[in-house]
Structure 1
Amino acid sequence: MQETFLHYVWQFKKFDTSNLKTTAGEAIALHNNGHPNLNSGPDFFNAQLEIDGQLWAGNVEIHIKSSDWYVHNHEVDCAYDNVILHVVYEHDTDIFRKDNSIIPTLQLKHLIHANVFKIYQRLLMSPHKWINCEMDFAEVDDFVISNWLERLYIERLERKSSTIEVLLESSKNDWEGILFKLLAKNFGLKVNGDAFFSMANSFDFSVVRKMQSQPLQLEALFFGQSGLLDAPIENGYFQNLSKEYQFIRQKFNLSNDEVIPLQFFRLRPPNFPTIRLSQLAMLYHEHANLFTKLMAADTIEDLYDLFEVGTSEFWKTHFTFEKSSRDSNKSLTKSFIDLLLINTVLPLRFCYLQHQGKPASESCLLMAQKIASEQNAIIKAFNTLKPISDSALTSQALIQLKTEYCDKNRCMACAIGNSLLARQ
């Protein structure tokens, strides 16, 4: 039994409201159940009800057992002085006010609608393989799912915006610098994301600005700070990079002592950090004021055009410094650009528009709908239950659903869980 279930039952009156009585036998007449309180304090504010003919206005507190009042130390918290009714699943002890009068208690144990309790048991009290509603998910109305997924996508953007806000505060609102750090992290993917991010944090973005017209210097900066120029390698390109890096390091007094080492293990060659760092360098060489261009883009096609970049000439025939390979263009693939748009550009665009006082949700929703759905274990599992992920909007929303609701058993806070509980 979860308190959130009892909150749902109380808020939507999913119990027999006829002939209600307190545990002391006093008649209860409900006029207003109150408003849910999402912060600290009693669970429902401003309720109105009659107890034994006396009209009361105040707050309602909900617990599984009456004794939880003392477990949560409410007896010493003045925020609970105005509680007029204690609603519990099971009454096991009387609760007293500071003046020693008993707080009226309503026990719901035998009042909850049988069908609601049955569905609750099916959702949260039965063994499941993956998510609580997996046996019923396919039956949920498409309109309910669609609206909920849109809300979940915005919720995910809001969560990512909180991370961006922290970076903004530490960088004095340098949006271009924040974009660089976030792009670097995502160019590193899961294996090297933290390493790339630590590299981007090891110098001020002003250094990148000063070198954007010189691609060799950008590569030297990225490779050197990442620790890729430490080995004694005999080829002209490597020697040029090393020479440039030593000059840059001394000029800007750089250190890479706190940069996380890069990993090549278990990576496909196109994802080697050497290739991704060169692509990142070429992106910033070709696009000064990249943040401004990304924020000004009107269509998803404009965003794709900005990421049409490859590597420098050396890396067209190499994956590492020492061994040559077949000549290939090594441009950013559409699927890789999709990841950059999903994880960096759209969250940053959402946060930036909010800072500008402009509507952000609709713009990001429309763009996310035009990006292909991600393919991972979560998306594949949901699509097995019901084929619903057809864009980045839905795939991001489903990740939010699984990680923030399903995995945490927050069915009562989920529109899908609520729709199942509302079935007759």
Structure 2
Amino acid sequence: MREDFIHYLWRFKKFDTTNLRTTQNEPITIIRSGDYLELSGPDFFNAQLIIGNQKWAGNVEIHTKASDWYNHFHEKDKAYENVILHVVWENDSTIFRRNNTEIPVLVLKNYVSKDIISSYNSLLVAKTWIFCEKELSQIDNFTFKNWQERLFFERLERKSQFVKELLLELENDWEAVLFCLLAKNFGLNTNGNSFLQIAKAIPFSIIRKESFELGNLEALLLGTAGLLEKDYQDVYCIDLKIRYFYLVDKYKISKAYVDNVEFFKHRPDNFPTIRLSQLANLYHTEQHLFSKIIHLNSAQKVYETIKVSAGLYWQTHYQFDKESSFKSKFLSKSFLDLIIINTIIPIQFTYANTIGESISENLISFMMGVTSEKNAILDKFESFGISSENAFESQSLLELKNEYCNKKGCLKCAVGMNLLKG
């Protein structure tokens, strides 16, 4: 039996509470089961119980086996001195506090119905992908939609944490934060960290000053990425290299370590040369981007605001010295959808929280107008009858899979708890 299931039973009183008794045959009355805080220390804080004829206020600790108390060295930890009840599935050892007084024990399995144990075991039978894959589509729409909303904001909170870290690192300069976040997401999964290192290596004050000259921005980004180091023959590359070394000397830019950018396995439109040129062009076109980004409220407005392409040279190149057929390399709608999901929504959410403004409903509406991502996880959910019609739904499903299903968090999940009700 897993300990999280026992937590679930105690937290929601999913057992017969009418005739509870300790292993010493003393009656137990639960006035308050306690606060489940999931922190270090006892599992449930501030419980209130009547054991025998005595009313107790304190903490409740839960284990699969009573002997886990000693396996976890609780007898040496002062945080466990105020435990008033030890709830276990199997009582295989007598447990004492640090002062050698015995802790009352409740063997919970004696009070749990066979039906709920059967439902739990059925839920956790190994499946090909997730535990509830056969039952998932049976969850009522109201429960699932409410759960999706919570999942969406849990995912957004985690993304927001990264924005807050950047904000602290960049001394509360929101424009600089946006630049770093955009750079990271222009690099996608493969080059994201490298692009972030590039953005951090160039003080944003320099980007501001040089934004009126596209060639200088390209030189700074491509040079910092290490893409100007070879002896190329094209005049354009030679010009960028001259610009880069001039700007490094002018601004005394320190050499920073940047992971090698990758071309391998990328479609040509995602080559780092193209993406860095597009990023340079964006900051050449929009000098005060944050003040615009923060007020965008629809995908269409994003498409209209961030309508940039790679520079002229890159219309006939993907790499230096290798000419290709002409192609206008504008940011695609699908790429901008990813920028909305991973940059614009998180920074709007974080900024609103910072100034004490609630924009939750606006963000949901915004995301419902963005096309869902396409990946193996979402395809798998669709095979179980759970489709994602927009980015709000797809982000929720990704959070569900990565933070609950993969971590076997069924008893913290609204779907799992709903299925346990039978």
Question: When the two structures are superposed, what TM-score results if normalisation uses the length of structure 1?
Answer: 0.96
| Corresponding residue number in structure 2 for 1:285 | 284
- 8 Å contact kept, 2:299–2:337: no
Taking the aligned partners of 2:368 and 2:217, their CA distance within structure 1 comes to 34
- 8 Å contact kept, 1:65–1:89: yes
Question: Aligned pairs, how many?
Answer: 422
Distance change >3 Å, CA 54–CA 287, structure 1 → 2: same
Question: When the two structures are superposed, what TM-score results if normalisation uses the length of structure 2?
Answer: 0.96
| Corresponding residue number in structure 2 for 1:271 | 270
| Corresponding residue number in structure 2 for 1:48 | 48
**Structure 1 residue 307: Cα displacement:** 1.3
Taking the aligned partners of 1:203 and 1:129, their CA distance within structure 2 comes to 47
Q: Which ranges in structure 1 are unaligned for 5 or more consecutive residues?
A: none
- 8 Å contact kept, 1:225–1:255: no
Taking the aligned partners of 1:39 and 1:242, their CA distance within structure 2 comes to 54
1:113-134 per-position Cα deviation (integer Å, ceiling 9, x unaligned): 212111211222x222111111
1:80-103 per-position Cα deviation (integer Å, ceiling 9, x unaligned): 222221110110111123443321
Aligned AA for 1:11? R
| Corresponding residue number in structure 2 for 1:208 | 207
Map 1:84-95 onto structure 2 (within 5 A). 84-95=84-95
| Corresponding residue number in structure 1 for 2:10 | 10
| Corresponding residue number in structure 1 for 2:351 | 352
Taking the aligned partners of 1:15 and 1:171, their CA distance within structure 2 comes to 53
| Corresponding residue number in structure 1 for 2:31 | 31
Q: Which ranges in structure 2 are unaligned for 5 or more consecutive residues?
A: none
- 8 Å contact kept, 2:297–2:366: no
Taking the aligned partners of 2:302 and 2:398, their CA distance within structure 1 comes to 24
1:307 aligns with 2:306: yes
| Corresponding residue number in structure 2 for 1:381 | 380
| Corresponding residue number in structure 2 for 1:128 | 127
- 8 Å contact kept, 2:297–2:362: no
1:312-368 per-position Cα deviation (integer Å, ceiling 9, x unaligned): 111112212212222221110000000111111111111111111111322222211
1:191 aligns with 2:218: no
Of the structure 1 ranges 333-342 and 250-259, higher mean CA displacement relative to structure 2 is found in: 250-259
**Structure 1 residue 9: Cα displacement:** 0.5
Q: Secondary structure at the match of 1:106?
A: strand
| Corresponding residue number in structure 1 for 2:361 | 362
Q: Secondary structure at the match of 1:84?
A: strand
Map 1:153-302 onto structure 2 (within 5 A). 153-302=152-301
- 8 Å contact kept, 1:65–1:91: yes
| Corresponding residue number in structure 1 for 2:389 | 390
Taking the aligned partners of 1:233 and 1:42, their CA distance within structure 2 comes to 65
Taking the aligned partners of 2:298 and 2:376, their CA distance within structure 1 comes to 30
Root mean square deviation, CA, Å: 1.5
Q: Secondary structure at the match of 2:63?
A: strand
Distance change >3 Å, CA 23–CA 206, structure 1 → 2: same
- 8 Å contact kept, 1:185–1:196: yes
Taking the aligned partners of 2:404 and 2:320, their CA distance within structure 1 comes to 46
